[in-house]
Amino acid sequence: MAILNSDQDGVFRSLSDSLPTHCSLNIESFSLLTEYHGVDGYESKEFEAGGYRWKLVLYPNGNKKKNVEDHISVYLRIAGEDSLQTGWGVSVDFRLFLLDQNKGMYLVLEDASTKQKFLHAGMLHVGFDKLIRLKEFTDISNGYLIDDKCVFGAEVFVCKERKTGRAECISRIKSPYMYKHVWKLENFSKLNAQFYHSKPFSAEGLNWTIILYPKGKSTRKDPPYVSVYLQWAAKKTSDHVTKVFTEYALRIVDQNHASIQYGSGKYCFNTASRSHGWPEFIPLGYLSSRLLKYDTCLVEAEVTVRAIAKDAC
């Protein structure tokens, strides 16, 4: 193997007459690839190496998301990440290849700064923003592009794996929506249980309930207070959701005077703390004498989910 250049745009270059071990991408029409995948990039079929699935991703006009100009960008991306165990991680040693069709040899390109790269749920690809200058690539004397044809390749060797532990990903809701639910409790004066749940309602695909304690949950007994809470009714199989960042409001409607008694706030509901609210929401005597109509209590909940955290991205 002959060394050509030790560091150009962070790329270590050498020549080899050996075929790429894991992937070979034969492009019959580079101009067509440029036309149809110039912005979004072209992904090869999946291939297997080291017990993982991979794809070669090629930006023929440079990765515009990284403001790359006048270069070809090429990356090695792990595939099927959703099927990997929570907290996965893998260190890889990789090389990319470009066939010199004049010499029948491969230009081998490696990272000049480090030997191994670590991939995980937050870092799914490795490669080069500036693999090769377009001017150099299209120069027919270099042999990389002949009759609009070229060949790229890849090798990836897994050096170390991490398959245990926990990872968490927080995703912000881009356009949060305020969900509203109204709960009617009839025969309020005859409610004898310690607490009552509303029927579940949905907000951002998650189930919620209102909890009301007619005689209160507060340690204060004189005067007695009504306690009201919002509860995230999470299931054990709730898509691995661990936290829900919300803005919410709870209201008891004054049906006689068209006014409301309410509380509002922000709270991060989580698997250890699924409910939040007010143990002293309103004095029981005031509610019974002023807010009820036909012995019926109306409780409203407004829930806006701002972000959701999950076990893994």
> pLDDT for 66-81, tens place per residue?
999 999 999 999 999 8
Q: Exposed, middle or buried: residue 204 (CB in 10 Å: 0-12, 13-18, 19+)?
A: middle
34: alpha, beta or left? (left if phi > 0; alpha if psi -120 to 50): alpha
Contact in structure between 91 and 160 (CB atoms under 8 Å): yes
Contact in structure between 74 and 59 (CB atoms under 8 Å): yes
Residues 251-281 pLDDT 10s? 998 887 766 767 888 898 988 889 999 999 9
Provide the percentage of residues in the chain whose pLDDT is more than 70. Answer: 89
Question: 212: how many CB neighbours lie within 10 A of its CB?
Answer: 24
Q: What SS3 class is residue 217?
A: coil
Q: Which residue has the tokens 């991680």?
A: 89
- Residue 252, strand partner residues: 261, 299
Peptide bond into 223 cis (omega under 30): yes
pLDDT at 187 over 60: yes
pLDDT at 241 (0 to 100): 87
Structure confidence at residue 131 as a pLDDT band (50, 70, 90): very high
Work out the average pLDDT over 37-54. 88
pLDDT at 171 over 90: no
> Average pLDDT over the chain, rounded to whole?
87
pLDDT at 36 over 50: yes
H helices of the chain, in order, are 30-37, 134-138, 284-286
On the CB side of 117, CA atoms within 13 Å amount to 21
pLDDT at 166 (0 to 100): 54
Q: For residues 57 and 116, what is the distance between their CA atoms, to the nearest angstrom? A: 19
Q: For residues 170 and 309, what is the distance between their CA atoms, to the nearest angstrom? A: 4
Positive or negative, the Cα torsion across 95, 98, 101, 102? negative
- Taking the alpha carbons at both ends of the chain, their separation in whole angstroms is 40
What does the chain come to in residues?
Answer: 313
Structure confidence at residue 237 as a pLDDT band (50, 70, 90): very low
pLDDT at 313 (0 to 100): 45
Q: 25 or 234: which carries more pLDDT confidence?
A: 25
pLDDT at 31 over 70: yes
Choose from 10-14, 182-186, 281-285 the range with maximum mean pLDDT.
182-186
H helices of 38-167, in order, are 134-138
Of residues 18, 21, 41, the one with CA closest to residue 107:
18
Give the largest Cα separation in the chain, rounded.
95
